[in-house]
Structure 1
Amino acid sequence: MGSLDDVKRTRHAMTLAEKASLMSGANFWNTKPVERLGVPSIMLTDGPHGLRKQGGAADHLGLNASIPATGFPTAATLANSWDVDLLGRVGELLGAEAAAEQVSVLLGPGLNIKRNPLAGRNFEYFSEDPLLSGLMAAALIRGIQSRGVAASAKHFAVNSQETHRMSIDEIVDERALHELYLEGFRIAITQGDAWTVMSSYNKVNGTYANEHRELLHDILRERWGFDGLVVSDWGGNNDRVAAIEAGSALEMPSTDGVTDLEIVRAVENGSLDEAVLDARVDEVLTLIARTRPGARRPAGTSEVDHDLHHDLAIEAASRSIVLAANEAGLLPLGPESGRVAVIGAFADVPRYQGAGSSLVNPTRLDDPLEALRASGLDIVGHERGFHRRDIPSVGLRRRALRLARRADVVLLHLGLDESAEAEAVDRTHLRLAQNQLDLTRELIDLGVPIVVVLAGGAPVELPFADEVDAIVLGYLGGQGVGPAIADVVTGRVNPSGKLAETYPIRYSDVPSASTFGRTEATSEHRDSIYLGYRYYDKVDAPVRYPFGHGLSYTTFAYSALRADARAATVTVTNTGDRAGEEVVQVYVEAPDAAAGQFRAVRELGGFAKVALEPGESATVEVALREHAFQVFDPDRGEWRTVPGTYSVLAAASSRDIRARVEVAIDGDAIDGDPLDLGRADLSHYLDGTVDRVGAAEFEALLGRPLPGSTWPTGRPLTRDDIIAQAKGRGGFASALHALIVTVSRTLMLLGRPHAANNVRFVLDMPFRSVARMSNGAVDGAMLDGLLLMVNGRFWHGVRRAATAWRAHRRARRAASARHD
């Protein structure tokens, strides 16, 4: 079954039931085999930054243990490297570990755009910019697939929040959809040649992504040329037949044959063309052929060199660390720095990854404290200073202050704890824990020089930034985070990371701050194209650290910039006394700097990373992105070149412009204005003040009325409603909701944040997912009983559920007996 002809021959030999069987999983992680025709089962596992293959009980949220695997830095960290070659190398080792464990599909990378810094899964995504996201993802995909393992670009598309993620309707205009939310995927698909794409749980403009024909067929396949397979997120199927018609082939996990039967019935009654089903079957068979499971070593006979992989994990982390501030030149530390006190609960027990489906069981874990002690620095002691959770402790704080008084320098390790960043839960604020802020204030008052080392997968407010001597953003550095931080702090590695996202001064500065995660049924993207630096630069708002920012222990000068419509070249010189690497960022600035235009002031057009010895120069050529001088024209449904005189900028960040040159661009000879110049009803989109956009202006942009943003009331709950909607309905419904919330809170108080968040995840599950995520333990009739209980007919529902459970148990026993 290696060629297209083989695939078609195999499919032609299948019965309708066998074809339908390939459309869903055999269990939680494996597809169904067709043994009669020699079609094997293949395994899919989580793995955006490390293989998460579970050896025992299976789940999708990191509850149960997985086999040891290398924990590489998360995407949010790796993006700060701006190093596509590094991402390719990481991908190769991820693919090697997956291949050694007979895994055919690694579910990653995630590359959704970071719309808001509170999104709970931002640690798993690359950037607020689609070009950087797309190029990094493409490199990782190429690396993974070089080992015969399929990568899965996810979550397609507009998966911008975790709150109500399985039902939320993301309302977004066409320009923002194509210019931001889809563009990274386009680059990853066209340049990475991903073999699979995972659809997202959410709706996009009223239609579930997994059954969105425009996204899955018109754009993904017809426009971008994708020839692979679309797999649902786990439990993310709504209407199975509609999904197949739209272009989604594989539903995961197993539904115990329920949705397979729906497919068979649809073909038999003529509501589903069998030719459409055949196309989906071919996609599954092609994926099986591409991943060559028969050529893999048996599990347990791997020759993976975990020491080599750990070395790359350290290198990847060190090349991704961002030196955000070093105004007094305190860093790097050395023997002359004197006595160093290490303070903070993240020094000895590091935060190195997020939580949920990407939770890796690392082969080893090197902490910063031990690495600093081995670095040659005069470490006079370590105190935790604060509880990891925000619980006051006078004793911990006093001991930390006592240690700081004995030191010449304090290395203060702060960060977000494990409960703050996880799948299925958005953050509620942008602050560090109060006990960390209180300790930081008291340390600053001592007058001892302070280096803050920050752990976390997304920005936080840094009210002390101007009062400490240096800030190192370690992000979530994977299992090698300890040596990586020590190497950067001591200068063994010259930091070269640049921020892949903007650090706002305060959360209220974020354009979507007043609306993000606050509504029930819809998420209105009133900010449109103005995300991250596109917004801050448009309105000239102050930021803590701009997009692309990152310092070095050396300095770089830019000269001789030249550009045309295709590329820019610039000479970069290391003007300092240390070898270092510089990320050369090229931005394209709109004509007249986008004044009065529905357009960003400047956008990233390309980048390159160059290594230079002291005094060395190099001329760097940077290719400009495909749509550098274009906008997406919603009226024509295509990209359109906007004429004018642009500035091409060579920069060290979106706000650190080192050189500029003008380039004249001819536009398309098409009537109409894609920039909406002079439209009074879009005034805030013209000046960028999208934090002030009201419902009427957003409706004018969309060209249609807004759907309701709250859940409908006054009717019974259905399979399509989510469990959170049981709140406030009284009786069993309210009791069920309260039970889930209480268990989650109790687990949090017991210091089990991962389990607490995962229990709370249940609230956002549609009732239909109770059956579909149960691996056959719950069927539709039992679910109907539950819904009767929730809708106020408790005892009737109990009887219905009990009767259905007994019938289901008898049917399973009979089926097992026939199989035996």
Structure 2
Amino acid sequence: MAGAQPTPADKAREAVVEAALGTLDLDAKARLLAGQDMWTLPALPEIGLESLVMSDGPIGVRGVRWSADDPSVALPSPTALAATWDPELARRAGVLLAQEARRKGVHVLLAPTVNLHRSPLGGRHFECYSEDPYLTGVIGTGYVRGVQSGGVGTTVKHFVANDAETDRLTVNNLVPERALRELYLAPFEAIVENARPWGVMTAYNSVNGTTMTEHHHLVNEVLRGEWDFDGCNVSDWTAARDTVGAVNGGLDVAMPGPRTVYGPALARAVRDGRVGEAAVDAAVRRVLRLAARVGILAGAEPVVPAPPAPVDGEALAREIARRSFVLVRNENRALPLPPHGTVALIGAAARDARVLGGGSATVFPARIVSPLDGLTAALPEGALTYAVGADPATELAVADQGLTLRAVCRDAAGEVVGSRSAPGGLIQWMGSDLPDGVTHDNLHTVELTGTFTPRESGPHRFGIKGMGPFTLTVDGTTYYDDVQRPDKDDPFEAFLGAPVPRAEVELTAGEPVDVALTHVVRLPEDLPMKVVGFALAHSGPQRDPDELIAEAVEAARAAGTAVVVVATTDRVESEGFDRRDLTLPGRQDDLVRAVAAANPNTVVVVNAGSPVELPWRDEVAAVLLTWFPGQEGGGALADVLTGAHEPGGRLPTTWGPLADAPVTQVVPVDGELPYSEGVFIGYRAWDQAGRTPSYPFGHGLGYTDWAYESLKVEGTTVRVRVRNTGERAGREVVQVYVSPAGPGPERPARLLAGFASVEAGPGESAEATVELPRRAFEVWDETGEAWVCVKGSYEIAAGRSIADRRLTAPINV
């Protein structure tokens, strides 16, 4: 594809880049391509280059500190953003994130994640958009445009086929060329063409035998050659393994530092004749171009000289959340709630909301509005009761309730060298992010010390998350003084591994006790990054599950409507591991069935970032999927349940039981994971297998009804007229699918080819216009290694989901 024509400003920036490049010696160039610490590249004062700062996303901007004392706006999960089916809303989210990045001194956001939901067992799917490459590309394009309109770079990730977490550092994904082109590369291609991102991030995994940080074909020939990508290619953290292979494979920046395959190792490879200096120059040029675009290279005007108008982060987070909620069932119009009824709110996740996924997507919002908070504020006094019902947390979690803690750092002699507040039980200090006065050289121990005030009486469990020597003391008693060792060889185990229980202490509600967790810091010399990470874990008294369910049933029986919030946990959905099943943890399924038996007006709110099984779905009045809804999720939930706003979402991925899911293999065999299903994943695979899911791709109900009145196809333009036949205003997502009707290569029965949203009042009509992309009629010819238009007859269908197609029309291509 042809790239955008350079503007005079682009040419001026390139001139500055070339001049700066020409003054650098080999050592400076090699140093610039290696991270100097966890999140930054080195400054080069001799050319007026400031240090470039990167930060994790994608639902917030954490900055260089991984701590709750440096809060960030937390938007809903990427699955939620995709469920809005609204690229303009994605763009607005990006603008807010650019604002957050500028506030935190961040130049490049490590987002968006545009890998696909190949199998429902993928543990990190909450961080990706969809099972469909077209929807993923459209939402990702809006996101990138928004972030970069704020003058902040993006790194579209993880390039490519990083669709599961099992053995992600070493797995060799065997992907047929046609599937690679039509599915896994497609979102990246669309975003490069339509949003011109300033960066990509290459994945840990190999594709067809070559690790992605060394994949000359996919990076240099496809990404840069065919697609004309002119941005910077950053490795995933610790993914770069070989100096020569990486630089020749098109990798520009090896992160993190200070130990990488670039820097002195790269300079030495050039001097030894193993790498041509021209390859180094090309990488440096791209890094300097990125620096010029974000405004940290002297003499170069940034792409965005002044930031956009300020965005209200809390208001936008709430809007995205309610627009993302998908109402998949609503029998007898159970929702919205009756205006003067009573509500029994049930579920541990209603009180302690899970608003985001685990791993590198984690940020720390200044506030979290739980469902209990939101409904308490929205309903009249006396209309709401609450019962725990069942707790999804069957394991310890990082302590975050009732704590007043401080991290005290000491040297080897036991002298205090610095301290920092610790709002929760988590310590994650990366690179130079250490308390004032503390260095990696003088740091010997960190003591997380303070008080814990329980909110319930009974036996409380405490534990430790992390690796190395620890001492745990609660209420004056030392319960653990030993070395905790990893279960597997993963540099992120300290962050992603499960906490280990080490103490059980009888405590009284409201009575504070002293707690201390002391860690002796031992950083191996060959560690690629300097990280101090551990956590104090906790769980409260575990009451008898049957007793809790019985209490919830009584509350439900006494109320007009029962609202049950069920959820996954960070041991179910997180970075670093895949899921073993799709069941809800704990006794939550039992809880729903018991409540539904007691109250026919039972509404279930599903707080999960990706599909879970809902075996009771036909036994309840309504089911509302809220994903990980971000910090304002509880307020958004109240908006939707009370009818102040419609639930606006449509499913970006198919929901169904694991036993029926067509693609389930995520565990490599002998280091290899064959993508043997080819182009048939998601709804394509469900169609091919002839199976009916619980809820199909694109499905979602509102609070009004729609009639599809006409479908016209003129060339590649599809016009669909719909009418609001209900009693209130609403929004409809008109979806257009293309089905091959004639002979040709094996293809999915139908593909999403486009969509558009319309709004109308009661009785009003509206017209949706969708342009059919050429790719809807093309397949990748593996023999000719080219896109080929398959001529012949097709059916164009418009409707509410892939399974609810209301109007059709033939077309010849």
Which TM-score applies when normalising by structure 1? 0.77
Q: Which has the higher helix share?
A: 1
Q: Does 1:629 align with 2:794?
A: no
Q: Secondary structure at 1:231's aligned position in 2? A: strand
Question: What is the CA deviation profile of residues 295-315 of structure 1, one whole-angstrom value per residue up to 9, with x for unaligned ones?
Answer: 99xxxxx99999821000000
How many Å apart are 1:438 and its aligned residue? 1.4
Q: Give the alignment partner of residue 804 of structure 2, picking from 650, 656, 660.
A: 656
Q: Which residue of 1 aligns with 2:137?
A: 134
Q: Secondary structure at 1:311's aligned position in 2? A: helix
Unaligned runs of 5+ in 1: 56-61, 297-301, 666-820
How many Å apart are 1:106 and its aligned residue? 0.5
Provide the rounded CA distance (Å) in 1 between the counterparts of 2:21 and 2:169: 33
Q: Which residue of 2 aligns with 1:11?
A: 21
Provide the rounded CA distance (Å) in 2 between the counterparts of 1:303 and 1:605: 35
Q: Secondary structure at 2:632's aligned position in 1? A: helix
Provide the rounded CA distance (Å) in 2 between the counterparts of 1:155 and 1:258: 20
Question: What is the CA deviation profile of residues 433-476 of structure 1, one whole-angstrom value per residue up to 9, with x for unaligned ones?
Answer: 24111112222222442100000100011100010000000011
Q: Which residue of 2 aligns with 1:614?
A: 762
Distance of aligned partners of 1:257 and 1:160 in 2 relative to their CA distance in 1, 3 Å threshold: closer
Question: What is the CA deviation profile of residues 380-438 of structure 1, one whole-angstrom value per residue up to 9, with x for unaligned ones?
Answer: 41011112313762332222122122112100000111221111111111101241111
Provide the rounded CA distance (Å) in 1 between the counterparts of 2:352 and 2:307: 30
Q: Give the alignment partner of residue 553 of structure 1, picking from 703, 712, 723.
A: 703
Q: Which residue of 1 aligns with 2:269?
A: 266
Aligned length: 648
CA contact (8 A) 2:35 2:254 kept: yes
Q: Which residue of 1 aligns with 2:549?
A: 397
Q: Does 1:645 align with 2:645?
A: no
Provide the rounded CA distance (Å) in 2 between the counterparts of 1:304 and 1:463: 47
Provide the rounded CA distance (Å) in 2 between the counterparts of 1:196 and 1:421: 27
Q: What are the residue-to-residue correspondences of 1:674-685 with 2, within 5 Å?
A: none
> Which letter does structure 1 place at the counterpart of 2:561?
V
Provide the rounded CA distance (Å) in 1 between the counterparts of 2:647 and 2:117: 24
Provide the rounded CA distance (Å) in 1 between the counterparts of 2:771 and 2:637: 32
Provide the rounded CA distance (Å) in 2 between the counterparts of 1:552 and 1:120: 29
CA contact (8 A) 2:29 2:281 kept: yes
Q: Which residue of 2 aligns with 1:320?
A: 324
Q: Secondary structure at 1:660's aligned position in 2? A: strand
Q: What are the residue-to-residue correspondences of 1:234-249 with 2, within 5 Å?
A: 234-249=237-252
Q: Does 1:47 align with 2:54?
A: no
How many Å apart are 1:559 and its aligned residue? 2.2
How many Å apart are 1:258 and its aligned residue? 5.7
**Range with greater deviation from structure 2 (271-280 or 107-116):** 271-280
Provide the rounded CA distance (Å) in 2 between the counterparts of 1:146 and 1:304: 8
Provide the rounded CA distance (Å) in 2 between the counterparts of 1:479 and 1:165: 30
Q: Does 1:172 align with 2:175?
A: yes
Distance of aligned partners of 1:305 and 1:193 in 2 relative to their CA distance in 1, 3 Å threshold: closer
CA contact (8 A) 1:108 1:152 kept: yes
How many Å apart are 1:626 and its aligned residue? 3.1
Distance of aligned partners of 1:306 and 1:472 in 2 relative to their CA distance in 1, 3 Å threshold: farther
Greater relative contact order: 1 or 2 (C-alpha under 8 angstroms, separation 6 or more)?
Answer: 2
Q: Which residue of 1 aligns with 2:334?
A: 330
Provide the rounded CA distance (Å) in 1 between the counterparts of 2:670 and 2:607: 31
Q: Which residue of 2 aligns with 1:193?
A: 196
> Which letter does structure 2 place at the counterpart of 1:510?
A
**Range with greater deviation from structure 2 (492-501 or 563-572):** 563-572
Q: Which residue of 1 aligns with 2:347?
A: 344
CA contact (8 A) 2:35 2:255 kept: yes
Q: Secondary structure at 1:649's aligned position in 2? A: strand
Question: What is the CA deviation profile of residues 517-537 of structure 1, one whole-angstrom value per residue up to 9, with x for unaligned ones?
Answer: 253501111111110101112
Q: Which residue of 1 aligns with 2:749?
A: 601
Q: Give the alignment partner of residue 719 of structure 2, picking from 569, 573, 597.
A: 569
Q: Which residue of 2 aligns with 1:181?
A: 184
How many Å apart are 1:100 and its aligned residue? 2.1
Q: Which residue of 2 aligns with 1:205?
A: 208
Q: Give the alignment partner of residue 45 of structure 2, picking from 35, 40, 44.
A: 35
Q: Which residue of 2 aligns with 1:591?
A: 741
CA contact (8 A) 1:306 1:363 kept: no
Distance of aligned partners of 1:95 and 1:583 in 2 relative to their CA distance in 1, 3 Å threshold: same
Distance of aligned partners of 1:257 and 1:198 in 2 relative to their CA distance in 1, 3 Å threshold: closer
Distance of aligned partners of 1:177 and 1:564 in 2 relative to their CA distance in 1, 3 Å threshold: farther
CA contact (8 A) 2:80 2:627 kept: yes
Question: What is the CA deviation profile of residues 277-327 of structure 1, one whole-angstrom value per residue up to 9, with x for unaligned ones?
Answer: 11101001011110114899xxxxx99999821000000100110001002
Provide the rounded CA distance (Å) in 2 between the counterparts of 1:335 and 1:634: 60
Q: Does 1:159 align with 2:162?
A: yes
Q: Secondary structure at 1:319's aligned position in 2? A: helix
Distance of aligned partners of 1:520 and 1:444 in 2 relative to their CA distance in 1, 3 Å threshold: farther
Provide the rounded CA distance (Å) in 1 between the counterparts of 2:139 and 2:130: 10
CA contact (8 A) 1:102 1:293 kept: no
CA contact (8 A) 1:407 1:448 kept: no
Q: Does 1:432 align with 2:580?
A: no
Q: Does 1:494 align with 2:646?
A: yes
Q: Give the alignment partner of residue 362 of structure 1, picking from 365, 378, 388.
A: 365
CA RMSD, Structure 1 to Structure 2 (Å): 2.0
> Which letter does structure 1 place at the counterpart of 2:79?
A
Q: Secondary structure at 1:478's aligned position in 2? A: coil
CA contact (8 A) 2:114 2:157 kept: yes
Q: Which residue of 1 aligns with 2:689?
A: 539
CA contact (8 A) 1:591 1:647 kept: yes
How many Å apart are 1:257 and its aligned residue? 6.3
CA contact (8 A) 1:92 1:146 kept: yes
Provide the rounded CA distance (Å) in 1 between the counterparts of 2:576 and 2:739: 37
Distance of aligned partners of 1:380 and 1:72 in 2 relative to their CA distance in 1, 3 Å threshold: closer
Q: Which residue of 2 aligns with 1:524?
A: 674
Question: What is the CA deviation profile of residues 557-596 of structure 1, one whole-angstrom value per residue up to 9, with x for unaligned ones?
Answer: 112211245221111111111101000100001124x7x9
CA contact (8 A) 2:254 2:261 kept: no
Distance of aligned partners of 1:307 and 1:40 in 2 relative to their CA distance in 1, 3 Å threshold: closer
CA contact (8 A) 1:112 1:181 kept: yes
Question: What is the CA deviation profile of residues 499-531 of structure 1, one whole-angstrom value per residue up to 9, with x for unaligned ones?
Answer: 000001x10212222x32253501111111110
> Which letter does structure 2 place at the counterpart of 1:589?
S
CA contact (8 A) 2:63 2:105 kept: no
Unaligned runs of 5+ in 2: 1-10, 301-305, 395-541
Provide the rounded CA distance (Å) in 2 between the counterparts of 1:193 and 1:334: 48
Question: What is the CA deviation profile of residues 668-723 of structure 1, one whole-angstrom value per residue up to 9, with x for unaligned ones?
Answer: xxxxxxxxxxxxxxxxxxxxxxxxxxxxxxxxxxxxxxxxxxxxxxxxxxxxxxxx
CA contact (8 A) 2:240 2:260 kept: no
How many Å apart are 1:630 and its aligned residue? 0.8
Q: Secondary structure at 1:479's aligned position in 2? A: coil
> Which letter does structure 2 place at the counterpart of 1:105?
V
Q: Secondary structure at 2:677's aligned position in 1? A: coil
How many Å apart are 1:335 and its aligned residue? 2.3
> Which letter does structure 1 place at the counterpart of 2:195?
G
Question: What is the CA deviation profile of residues 616-645 of structure 1, one whole-angstrom value per residue up to 9, with x for unaligned ones?
Answer: 112221011230111111111111011111
Q: Secondary structure at 2:155's aligned position in 1? A: strand
How many Å apart are 1:374 and its aligned residue? 2.0
Q: Which residue of 2 aligns with 1:674?
A: none
Q: Which residue of 2 aligns with 1:214?
A: 217
Q: Does 1:511 align with 2:662?
A: yes
> Which letter does structure 1 place at the counterpart of 2:754?
G
Quote the sequence identity (%).
Answer: 38
CA contact (8 A) 2:234 2:251 kept: yes
Q: Give the alignment partner of residue 386 of structure 1, picking from 376, 386, 390.
A: 390
CA contact (8 A) 1:330 1:469 kept: yes
Q: Which residue of 1 aligns with 2:731?
A: 581
